[in-house]
């Protein structure tokens, strides 16, 4: 498992660095660019972020944990979808020891609609389940030029325990613009240029592989 994810995350990092690469991996799928470059005129003038845990972000695990892992992700990002099952297993392995925080970096046409759906499902404590389902069904709604709001809703209607009427009500009565704006600004301040990007105790994971992530987590836990 670790070896497979290491290859996946190395591929994602290579795609981000090159800007446009199509890679056919051993797993039989195409990895596409998941990055947004920042030009000279776009360089943030704000001070660098020293605490990447935002109050508005979904988190799992104890808030006073010795180690906090922050992932900037995009629901429409193929690399994020590939990595997600492995992160889920690590969340279970480190249950009660590590806090996991998820923040948004929308880079695709339907990313905002997916984020809105996630936040609506979150109202019913179904954030993780909704994220997993959107990743699982990503090929059905991702990389489309037309709005896929209805398709995303149809997918999430398949969530066990979801109250559809409440979901639609919460979806209509929310404003995620400020959340996305804050995540994008603070992500850029911290050096995020593509997804997924991980931070362990506010330090960016330079080597994008599972072994490095686990090593950093264990290092923090043993301090």
pLDDT tens string 7-43? 445 444 444 433 333 333 322 233 333 554 333 334 4
Half-sphere exposure of 31 (CA within 13 A, CB side): 27
Whether 198 shows a pLDDT value over 60: the answer reads yes
Q: What is the CATH number of the domain that holds 198?
A: 3.40.30.10
The mean predicted confidence, pLDDT, of the chain is 84
Average pLDDT estimate for 116-139: 98
What pLDDT is attached to residue 48? 56
> Using one digit for the tens of pLDDT, what is the confidence trace for 91-106?
999 999 999 999 999 9
Binning pLDDT at 50, 70 and 90, where does residue 207 land?
confident
**Residue 206: pLDDT band with limits 50, 70, 90:** confident
pLDDT tier, 145 (very low <50, low <70, confident <90, very high otherwise): confident
Whether 86 has a pLDDT exceeding 60, the answer reads yes
Whether 47 has a pLDDT exceeding 80, the answer reads no
Residue 40 is assigned to a structural domain of this protein = no
Q: Is residue 161 part of a domain?
A: yes
Range of the domain at 208: 52-222
24 part of a folded domain:
no
Among 44-53, 57-66, 97-106, 180-189, the least confident range: 44-53
**Higher pLDDT among residues 40 and 218, named by residue:** 218
Q: What is the tally of structural domains in the chain?
A: 1
Residue 37: inside a domain, yes or no? no
Q: Is residue 199 part of a domain?
A: yes
- Identify the residue with better confidence: 23 or 141: 141
Q: pTM here?
A: 0.80
Evaluate whether residue 76 is within a structural domain: yes
What pLDDT is recorded for position 35? 56
For residue 116, tell me if it sits in a domain.
yes
**Residue 7 resides in a domain:** no
């Amino acid at each position: 498992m670790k070896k497979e994810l290491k290859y996946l995350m190395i591929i994602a990092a290579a795609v981000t660095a090159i800007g446009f690469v199509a890679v056919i991996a051993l797993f039989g799928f195409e990895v596409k660019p998941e990055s947004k470059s920042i030009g000279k005129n776009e360089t943030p003038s704000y001070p660098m972020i020293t605490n990447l845990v935002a109050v508005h972000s979904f988190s799992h695990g104890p808030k006073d944990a010795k180690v906090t892992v922050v992932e900037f992700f995009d629901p429409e990002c193929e690399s994020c979808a590939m990595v997600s099952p492995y992160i889920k297993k690590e969340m279970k392995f480190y249950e009660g020891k590590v806090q996991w925080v998820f923040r948004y970096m929308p880079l695709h046409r339907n990313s905002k609609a997916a984020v809105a759906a996630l936040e609506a499902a979150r109202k019913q404590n179904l954030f993780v389940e909704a994220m997993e389902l959107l990743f699982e069904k990503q090929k059905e709604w991702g990389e489309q030029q037309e709005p896929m709001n209805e398709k995303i809703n149809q997918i999430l209607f398949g969530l066990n325990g979801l109250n559809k009427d409440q979901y639609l009500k919460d979806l209509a009565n929310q404003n995620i613009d400020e959340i996305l704006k804050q995540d994008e600004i603070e992500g850029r301040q911290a050096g995020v240029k593509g997804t997924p990007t991980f931070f362990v105790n506010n330090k960016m994971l330079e080597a994008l592989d599972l072994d490095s992530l686990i090593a950093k987590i264990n290092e923090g836990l043993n301090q």
